[in-house]
Amino acid sequence: MGMNVLFRLFFLAAFLYSHSLVAQNATPAVPDPSRLDTSWWNYFAVDSKNEPDALAVRIQNTNEQLKKISALIPDSEKEKLIPIVDGLIQRFTAYGKLRAAPLPTGPSAGIPAQTYSVEKILELADTLRKIKLEHQIVVEQVKRLEKALKSGQAEQTRRKLSYLDLPDVAPDRIEQGLLLMQSRVQLEIASEQLRRHRAQRDLLARQLDGLDKELDIAFERTKVDPDRISFWEEQQRKAIERLNTLNKQLMRMQIDESSALATTPIERAQALLSTQRIALLETQAAIQQMLLAKAEWAIAGIKRVLSGNETDAKGDRDLYRKHLESIDETKQRLKDWQRTTTQSRAAATEQLATEKDTGLVTMYESRLVVADETEQALRRLEDELDTTTRLGELINYLLTKREGRLGQGVQLAEKAVEQTWEGFKSILTTGLFEVGETPVTSLGLLRFVFIVFLAWLFSKLLRRGLQRVAQRRETVSQASVYTLGQVLHYFILTMAVVIGLSSIGVDFTKFALIASALGIGIGFGLQNLVSNFVAGLIILFEKSLKAGDFVELESGVSGEVKEINMRSTLVTTNDNVDILVPNSEFVNGRVTNWTMREVFRRVHIPFGVAYGTDKDLVKKSVLEAAGAVPWTLLGNKAREPQVWFVEFGDSSLNFELVVWLIPEAVKRPSAVHAAYLWEIESKLKQSGIEIPFPQRDLHLRSAFGKKDDAAWSLVDNIADKA
């Protein structure tokens, strides 16, 4: 039983497989718009090699069926469907012709000749330019077709899904089927066009490559006729004459345009017409410039070939660079001329469509004529640029061959340096902003910074020199030198700023406006800065404070003055902490300057001894302690150390050591005070003098109603019992 079932299943599978093979080998049916399936286009998928006429036959069958469908369309639908059917028949016919046409073919490159003249090289360059232009057009067409094919495939998918969703009896099924077929055949036409354009693009690319190689060979096989020099010299002479004539016309027209004042519509239209004529003259002058470059390069190339490429290359290299710069400049200006001409044509066309005044209409028509002439001149200029560039490549090839690899490397390095410098110079000379009406460039800013830096460096060296002079001469005041240095520093920097601003073109005749703006700025936000700056100047000129002074401020800050700057003064404490104090604090507040006029200072060191101590012994011991401290000023009878008995204290006899300090000690108050206390305690201890601590005597007058001795007896009894 099981074997019977397996046999039946195997027989069914074999039947279905053989049926599918028959279906595949059978010829597909002619597509019917009312009954299209997903594989209806397979009807046109034929092998053109084995069946060259099959596609044409099937397209004819399809067109005949479409004509039959067209005849059966009801009158109410003919107006809508007949155009679709006719268009579909035309598309199928076009697709058949496109498929039958061969792909574009041709030779990739010709066989190089044994010798090439300068004219032949220019002819090759012209052919190369034309093929390159054609190649660019084909490349753009390929891109456009690829984009259209991509969007067409999306549209085909959408139509296919929409058609498959329709019921079999839908009234618009035939219409949707016709549109689906139309979309697909249009897609296939675009695909076939894309295939052909790609083949043409590749063929042109091979031809360009072949022409490039042939030009390289032509450069090596260049042969010239000495008689051609006279021809090119004549071309050179004509180009110079035409160029001079055009330049004179251009100058006159530019002068007339600059002096004209356009106030009325006619005058404005005339001005625009003159602008377009100037563009035409400039284009024609550029053409003559290219012809001149081509003639001079041709003469140089012929002479170099005749001499066996043995003549010095410097003159020809300079000529090559000169015209190469002209070519680069012309290429840049070419874009401006093209843009100006296009805009002028568009504006004139728009104005011409609405203008009624005959005078203005004449102006606009003349402008269109000049624009046409300019466009023709621009196209010729493009041709001359390309041809001249190719001839320049020949000159460069000959010069490079003459100079050798080392010379070529030097030339490339020089060109790279020159281009880098030109680019850097262009950046430096580009306007960044304007001060008033004066443009400020990067170069101007660098110049300003450089001038200020030189002034700062000069000021620094000058101040250092003044300090060295003051150190060598004891009679010169250090404070005066510092003040002079700071004043000179501010003056030099101010002059540097003025000179720097003048170097970038700032007009100081408008200084009142700048001063007004500065005054407003000071009033709103810079008053503290200016206040501190003025306070610094007061300090310097008043000499109430100088570098090296030891000061103490109301805020408690104390230390040595190191620098007096524009905004603040640097004070370094004895803990080596740098504190920036605003200059206004020295002017507005109370400042204790320990070293303003006198370098010596007297300090008071308080101490106390026990009651009953011999005062003379105390004096002797403390004076010995003062003499042992290195900060004590000795040898000056008017300023010898003294010991003063100042008061009877609660627990001690209070004294003060009054001692004058040497200059080095004035700036170290805490260390000095500690040193004297240390020595005083040591000497008093050696002398057996007691330094008391606070004591209190308790006298008990009464307790629990008892007095005197009776009270003490009662306290003692309570203490014993406790």
CB atoms under 10 Å from CB of 535, counted, come to: 21
% of residues, the chain, pLDDT over 90: 8
Using one digit for the tens of pLDDT, what is the confidence trace for 397-429?
777 777 765 655 666 677 677 777 777 766 766
23 pLDDT band, cuts 50/70/90, is very low
Task: Provide the CB-side half-sphere exposure for 128 (13 A, CA).
Answer: 23
Q: Which residues of 614-649 are buried (b: 16+ CB within 10 A; e: fewer)?
A: eeeebbebbbbbbeebebbbeeeeebbbebeeeeee
Q: What is the pLDDT of residues 510-550, one digit of tens each?
A: 555 555 655 665 555 566 667 777 777 776 666 667 777 77
Kindly calculate the radius of gyration of the chain based on its CA atoms and give it in whole angstroms: 54
**Residue 604: partners with Cβ closer than 8 Å, 6 or more residues away:** 656, 657, 658
The reported pLDDT for the residue numbered 722 is: 55
For residue 2, the number of C-alpha atoms closer than 13 Å in the C-beta half-sphere is 0
Average pLDDT over all residues of the chain: 79
Q: Is the pLDDT of residue 376 over 90?
A: yes
pLDDT at 580 over 70: yes
User: What are the C-alpha distances in Å from 719 to residues 260, 700, 702, 713, 714?
Assistant: 128, 15, 16, 10, 9
Rounded Cα gap, residues 569 and 584, in angstroms = 10
Neighbours of 527 (CB within 10 A): 11
| pLDDT computed for residue 21 by the predictor | 38
Q: Which of 86-90, 124-128, 544-548, 662-666 has the lowest mean pLDDT?
A: 544-548
What the chain holds in terms of domains, given with CATH numbers, is 28-216 (no CATH), 224-428 (no CATH), 440-542 (1.10.287.1260), 601-686 (3.30.70.100)
Half-sphere exposure (CA, 13 Å, Cβ side) for 93?
A: 9
- In one-letter notation, the amino acid at residue 171 is P
Helix (H) or strand (E) holding 651: none
Judge whether residue 163 has pLDDT over 80.
Answer: yes
Joined tokens for residue 249: 């016309």
Rounded distance, CA 229 to CA 303, Å? 8
Please give the pLDDT value at position 14: 41
Place 12 in a pLDDT band, splitting at 50, 70 and 90: very low
- Greater confidence (436 vs 363) lies with 363
Q: Give the residue-averaged pLDDT of 328-356.
A: 87
Count of C-beta atoms within a 10 Å radius of residue 385: 19
457-480 per-position pLDDT tens digit: 888 888 888 778 777 776 666 666
Angle at 563 between CA 558 and CA 566, to 5 degrees: 115
Helices (H) and strands (E) in the chain, counts: 18, 12
